A and B are shown apart, each in its own frame.
Chain A
């Protein structure tokens, strides 16, 4: 909770440092909503210390979904979710025991995004995340769902408008999950629709 509050304050401070939009070289656009879908490669920065975790698979396909309100100014707000597999650990522990542990994460983030130059955006996004883990081997299959309250995402995006309604581009994100101290990044192709 303390970390969430601290992050909230820092986000406010970060945007407080950014000047108002005097002398803005970027033409203002009309307020609109955008729905974006992304898919691509995700990578888990493994920090596991435990011996069975040597065989950690870290690279997967992930997807993101984002709904943004984009006013005529540089800053925009939105909600983002997605699904990422964080890791899979598939190990032979002994002659008798094998194990297969997996974890997925579904974040729900408040996105605060800023257009830096034409078509290029940076965003930060604090929020919640649900972690879905499963373990098979060593007995019955076990599934667990946990909520992580203190999570953070930073994203850099490039979106090129195809026409008045559609944009395509790419984005790179770094995502931190507080509950389990996990870090991941993803690079996604993005398709966006202006509503």
Chain B
């Protein structure tokens, strides 16, 4: 019987291990829920929001968040960027010139997160922020943060240090977020390559997005990264296999992304970018299994016209990651005037008249090549840069005009803390 017991225990152990290998899908976003302090407050006007942007000294909470943070408003959220990959996504409201702040912090390299609740007293900057008629010199954010669930059990104190340098704000530096704003594997609350992610990503500090374009069997460009419908990116459903085999209507009815969203059509996603965000750059990463440039160019043209009509400063570039993609691109009529991004050599960039040169970051800062690109009136981005030290190196010592990353808040920290 001893043999049998051990044998059975081994089998059970293996079965449990296999069950344990399944991906965890929980979303780690603390929420104040119906007890939110903000429900009795009013939104801040844009002019007041801008006054809060700046570099802050961390007087309490520096163990976790470092000695200095950047606060930067996006379209809907106030974000805090730390030097090491911690970030905050916060909602803000005001009542009688007291600024109420609520949201959560996250650390990008693991699942650590916690609730944040804070305020700016009327006498500690709230009144100045609401008056918004001059740059304040004294904003003090007091509050607390938690390390699990919705509990707040640690003190938080940020003191305004200085504004973001005007030269930095006036420079067009693109912080492009990967996979329409963030990866599903980073346990974000919305799925990658979804319209919901495009709506979410500005809170992470993104000023642009990279989106993955695939073509359905009926020729409709959609947003999806992998070649297959799989359980990494989608909820378990009745179909699997190459995405290019399915029609859009099949994907619409039979596939949901991991957090329940539909796989969006490229056109719908770009319309959302124009109509509902302040994003300025879109990098279309064309997946190569099925050539899709000819299906994408008319959409790009239509959306750019829509953006122009609305007075939006929006750039949409078709990515050219390979020689095959370039060959396909050069078959398009008037390809020299189609906004594109070339990942190959600077000679290839010139050949197809790409506006953006985008080499991988592992090739280094390539100062001479970047200078050459600048001299041609083009811009240079690098991808996909996630390491804190290398982000710091590229921002402080490189001359790229933008960085594609999974962690735009880290890029944001090092970009906005620049002196010029």
Contact for A18 among B7, B228, B242, B254, CB less than 8 A: B7
Contact for A93 among B3, B237, B246, B253, CB less than 8 A: B253
Which residues on B sit within 8 Å (CB–CB) of A152?
14-15, 18
Tell me whether A180 and B15 are in contact in the complex, defined as CB-CB below 8 angstroms, given that A18-B7, A101-B254 are known contacts.
no
The reply on A162 being an interface residue by CB < 8 A is: no
Interface string of B1-24 (1 = CB under 8 A from A): 011101110110111011001100
Tell me whether A122 and B8 are in contact in the complex, defined as CB-CB below 8 angstroms, given that A18-B3, A116-B3, A180-B240 are known contacts.
yes
Contact in complex: B22, A181 (CB < 8 Å): yes
Contact for B7 among A10, A87, A116, A179, CB less than 8 A: A116
| Chain B, Cβ-Cβ closest to A90 | B238
The reply on B399 being an interface residue by CB < 8 A is: no
Within 8 A of B (CB), among A105-133: 114, 116-117, 122, 124, 131, 133
| Chain A, Cβ-Cβ closest to B229 | A144
Contact in complex: A142, B250 (CB < 8 Å): yes
A9 and B8 alpha carbons, distance in the complex (Å) = 17
Tell me whether A53 and B237 are in contact in the complex, defined as CB-CB below 8 angstroms, given that A10-B13, A138-B247, A144-B242 are known contacts.
yes
Tell me whether A146 and B255 are in contact in the complex, defined as CB-CB below 8 angstroms, given that A11-B14, A138-B249 are known contacts.
no
Contact in complex: A97, B249 (CB < 8 Å): yes
Which residues on B sit within 8 Å (CB–CB) of A18?
3, 6-7
- How far apart are A42's CB and chain B's nearest CB, in angstroms? 17
The reply on A7 being an interface residue by CB < 8 A is: yes
Contact for B240 among A3, A122, A124, A144, CB less than 8 A: A144
- How far apart are B383's CB and chain A's nearest CB, in angstroms? 26
- Interface pick from A27-35, A44-52, A65-73, A77-85: A44-52
Contact in complex: A50, B15 (CB < 8 Å): no
Which residues on A sit within 8 Å (CB–CB) of B238?
48, 50, 52-53, 56, 87, 89, 99, 101, 103, 135
Contact in complex: A99, B254 (CB < 8 Å): yes
Which residues on B sit within 8 Å (CB–CB) of A142?
217, 239, 241, 245-246, 250
Tell me whether A133 and B241 are in contact in the complex, defined as CB-CB below 8 angstroms, given that A10-B13, A154-B11, A154-B15 are known contacts.
yes
- How far apart are B272's CB and chain A's nearest CB, in angstroms? 23
Which residues on A sit within 8 Å (CB–CB) of B11?
14, 122, 124, 154
The reply on B187 being an interface residue by CB < 8 A is: no
Which residues on B sit within 8 Å (CB–CB) of A181?
22, 231, 236
A173 and B36 alpha carbons, distance in the complex (Å) = 52
Which residues on A sit within 8 Å (CB–CB) of B13?
10, 14
Which residues on A sit within 8 Å (CB–CB) of B255?
50
- How far apart are B183's CB and chain A's nearest CB, in angstroms? 19
The reply on B136 being an interface residue by CB < 8 A is: no
The reply on A174 being an interface residue by CB < 8 A is: yes
The reply on A163 being an interface residue by CB < 8 A is: no
Contact in complex: A144, B10 (CB < 8 Å): no
| Chain B, Cβ-Cβ closest to A7 | B14
Contact in complex: A139, B250 (CB < 8 Å): yes
Tell me whether A3 and B6 are in contact in the complex, defined as CB-CB below 8 angstroms, given that A101-B239, A101-B254, A144-B241 are known contacts.
no
Contact in complex: B6, A48 (CB < 8 Å): no
The reply on A5 being an interface residue by CB < 8 A is: no
Which residues on B sit within 8 Å (CB–CB) of A101?
238-239, 254
Within 8 A of A (CB), among B202-247: 217-218, 228, 230-231, 235-242, 245-247
Which residues on B sit within 8 Å (CB–CB) of A176?
15, 18
- How far apart are A6's CB and chain B's nearest CB, in angstroms? 8
Contact in complex: B240, A133 (CB < 8 Å): yes
| Chain B, Cβ-Cβ closest to A88 | B238
Which residues on B sit within 8 Å (CB–CB) of A145?
241
A114 and B236 alpha carbons, distance in the complex (Å) = 35
The reply on A17 being an interface residue by CB < 8 A is: yes
A72 and B13 alpha carbons, distance in the complex (Å) = 28
A53 and B239 alpha carbons, distance in the complex (Å) = 10
Within 8 A of A (CB), among B354-376: none
Tell me whether A135 and B7 are in contact in the complex, defined as CB-CB below 8 angstroms, given that A144-B240, A181-B231 are known contacts.
no
Which residues on B sit within 8 Å (CB–CB) of A103?
238, 240
Contact in complex: A99, B253 (CB < 8 Å): yes
- How far apart are B216's CB and chain A's nearest CB, in angstroms? 10
Contact for A50 among B3, B17, B235, B245, CB less than 8 A: B235
Which residues on B sit within 8 Å (CB–CB) of A97?
249, 253
The reply on B256 being an interface residue by CB < 8 A is: yes
Which residues on A sit within 8 Å (CB–CB) of B247?
138-140
| Chain B, Cβ-Cβ closest to A142 | B245
- How far apart are A140's CB and chain B's nearest CB, in angstroms? 8
Contact in complex: B254, A17 (CB < 8 Å): no
Residue numbers of B with Cβ under 8 A of A are 2-4, 6-8, 10-11, 13-15, 17-18, 21-22, 217-218, 228, 230-231, 235-242, 245-247, 249-250, 253-256
Q: List 13 A-B contacts (CB under 8 A).
A: A49-B235, A49-B237, A52-B238, A56-B238, A99-B253, A101-B238, A116-B4, A122-B4, A122-B11, A135-B238, A138-B249, A142-B250, A144-B245
Question: Other CB < 8 Å A-B pairs besides A142-B250, A179-B240, 15 of them?
Answer: A3-B18, A7-B14, A14-B7, A50-B235, A50-B254, A52-B253, A103-B238, A135-B239, A138-B247, A139-B218, A139-B247, A142-B239, A152-B15, A180-B230, A181-B231
Cβ-closest 5 pairs across A and B: A144-B241, A14-B10, A50-B237, A101-B238, A89-B238
